[in-house]
Amino acid sequence: MTHQRVTITGLGAITPSGLAVPEMWDAVANGRSGIRVLEGDEFETQHARELGVRIGGQVRGFNPEDYVPRPLARRLDDMHVWAIAAADQALAQASGGPAATTAAVAEATGVAPGAALPWDPARVMVVVGTGSGPLRPHHQGAVGFEHKGQRGVPLTLTMHGAPDAPAALISQRYGVTGPARAVSATCASGAVALGEAMRALRHGYADAAIVVGVEDCVNPINVSSNANVRALAAGYEARPAQASRPFDRSRTGFVVSAGAAAMVLEREAVARNRGANVLAELAGYGASSDAHHATTPLPDGRGAASAMRAALADAGLTPEQFATGAPDGGPLGHVNAHGTGTVAGDAAEAAALTAVFGGGVETSPASTTAPQLPITATKSSTGHLLGAAGVLEAVISVCSLREGIIPPTINLDDPAFPELSIVREPRRLPPENNTMVLSNSFGFGGHNAAILISKR
């Protein structure tokens, strides 16, 4: 089936590794960790001081009033403003100027409206990927009710406590009248949001999409929950930058991080007609479910393998073409692995990568071997942004293609899977081996998604 190509024209990022894409990319490309000992009043209560895990990736130095006026900043949760900020950055890049706000928003908030967005607002959609949505308003409401009853529950819980709240706020901010929705698939949410938006654009349901992944998961309750299921790396308070260890034998779990990332997608014809600067193409998307367990993936990785094969097939590629299709017989690109640092998750992904690119356990196996295909795991630097991770790693993948550099997997001191060719230092690639990135996102509940980004 023929379909319209979907381009990427804008990027944004609010992360522990930086508050804009250039800053974030510089940190990731050079292997600098954004993981620190957790700070803030909420981590200084008696119970919080007793947490078994006290490290993570926090958004530091962010001023909400750089993006929204003080009255609105006081009503919104951090994650709402992070989502708005990342969208602002991506739209500014896509439109070639300051991001626009509508007259209605200007009247309500005091923000002067900008120039109109470069598309018919009825032909623009907003898709936000988030695993949990805004958690803090619910916590504040529960505490308020416990102390004051109904009077203690803030109005903002109803207005801004739902997972779709960031999508609604973004659509209101820019006057977008096309579809606005949230997508939730735990740690695959961001990748699923990108994939579903891509499909909508391919089929002509919209001309452009503002896609945001956002998560505010670095709080005592969420840290406690993930620690209780033994998903988090523990014992690294004295050396937090070394805690996230994807594919290393000493890995003990992931490091939770917070933040947001954004992409502007456009149908290729629309982008070309308006003279947009096309950064890359979103060329393929695949998704699957393990149907297995709440927190543990299928050991053989066949669900993850299915998503990877589907993403490649969606772009008209076989695994063998991706791994050996360059003029020199080498790979067309590399894999940005999900690579969280959990014992079971990394083992399952290693099995999936070997199955897809190293002989396979399903149909159409590739004849190449996994070591020929470069693999990186950037959560080693950023930590795991859960529902935001898929969009952030798509942003990293675009930067990688444009700069010609595969960012390193840090903290890989003792590789547990020698059959995989994991990049441990920044690697510059010749153009023929740097045309595509396959980016994986796999989540609790057995949610699997993979996207293929192409340099066009």
Annotated active-site residue 217? The verdict is no
Annotated active-site residue 187? The verdict is yes
For the beta carbon of residue 60, count every other beta carbon within 10 angstroms. Answer: 12
Q: Which amino acid is at 346?
A: D
Q: Which residue in 80, 338, 399, 447 is the catalytic one?
A: 338
Single pTM value for the model? 0.92
Q: Which residue in 80, 187, 217, 447 is the catalytic one?
A: 187
Report H helices in 268-416: 268-273, 302-314, 319-324, 343-357, 379-382, 389-403
CB crowding 322-355: b at 16 or more within 10 Å, else e: bbbbbeeebbbbbbbbbbbbbeebbbbbbbbbbb
CATH class, range 6-281:
alpha beta
Residue pair 6/267 in contact by the 8 Å Cβ criterion: yes
Give the C-alpha separation, 41 to 32, whole Å.
26
Do 6-281 and 285-454 share a fold?
yes
Q: Which CATH architecture has domain 285-454?
A: 3-Layer(aba) Sandwich (3.40)
Give CA angle at 192 (444, 79), nearest 5°.
Answer: 80
Report pLDDT for 139.
79
Residue pair 79/260 in contact by the 8 Å Cβ criterion: yes
Query: What secondary structure does DSSP assign to 98-124, as a single string?
Result: PPP--HHHHHHH-PPP-PPPSS-GGGE
Provide CB contacts within 8 A for 194, sequence distance 6+. 127, 129, 211, 263, 265, 282, 285, 390, 391, 394, 451
Report pLDDT for 429.
87
Give the C-alpha separation, 98 to 333, whole Å.
33
Q: Which residue in 80, 160, 334, 384 is the catalytic one?
A: 384
Give CA angle at 58 (55, 63), nearest 5°.
Answer: 155
Q: What residue ranges do the domains of the chain occupy?
A: 6-281, 285-454
Which residues of the chain, if any, have pLDDT below 70? 1-2, 97-116, 359-371
Give the C-alpha separation, 169 to 75, whole Å.
12
Report pLDDT for 151.
87
Annotated active-site residue 399? The verdict is no
